[in-house]
Amino acid sequence: MSHRAVIPLTLALIGIQVGTIGAQSGGLSIKRTYTKPGDPLISLEMSSLIERLPPSGYHPVRVKIINDSTIDRTWNFSFVSSDSSFGERNRLRSNFSVICNATSVAGVDLIIPVVSVLNTRASKQLESILDVTVRPSAPLPQSSDRLTTEMAQEKSKIWPSVIYSEKIQTLNGNALDKATALHLYGAPSGGGGGWRSQAEFGGGFLAKSMPDDWRAYVGYDACLLTDL
């Protein structure tokens, strides 16, 4: 028998001053300018700090809001983490509020809880999904995005959940992806192996931009860093 679990979490966060977004090219990404050129700027940048979701734990997201208008505004972030995109699935919901005062800049790191992906293999596929909907104060429009991380496919071996620094990814990412695909599917990444041969060794992150909160790192099997 399958069971569905829905766990609501609500957090309120007051914005702090930040400089840069410091995010990865993969992962969740919303960049929105709400005002016309020449009007007081109101904008949002929201980006994942790690490209992939862990099979359990948390996912760090960085938010930067510019509010040059004359009134305080609130942005509500609603996240839904789930363990598959079809059929019965577990869900974990969390909500955050970020306040940006008038004529100010607000920044905060959101640590998003994600559902635990269990290796039942009943669906023949293991994946973690994180959906986000951003609702700013009216009349500003809402935005949404989705991040999906595949843990394993049918007929493939389960690969550990790995994160590695941008320096390692830049120098060795392609070679590591090809080696991972060869191990999992018997064909190099991007090759014609009959079965899906596109694979990723791990998720990249920019070490100098990561938060101090330990929850950003739990849930992963390995973390690779280098100063070279």
1 within a domain of the structure (yes/no):
no
Structural domain harbouring 155: 6-224
Neighbouring residues of 32: CB distance < 8 A, sequence distance ≥ 6? 43, 44, 134, 143
> Does the pLDDT at position 44 exceed 80?
yes
Region of poorest pLDDT, from 2-16, 107-121, 153-167: 2-16
Count how many domains the chain has: 1
Tens digit of each residue's pLDDT (9 = 90 or more) over 130-186 = 999 999 999 999 999 999 988 766 655 677 888 888 888 888 888 888 888 887 777
201 within a domain of the structure (yes/no):
yes
Tens digit of each residue's pLDDT (9 = 90 or more) over 92-106 = 999 999 999 999 999
141 within a domain of the structure (yes/no):
yes
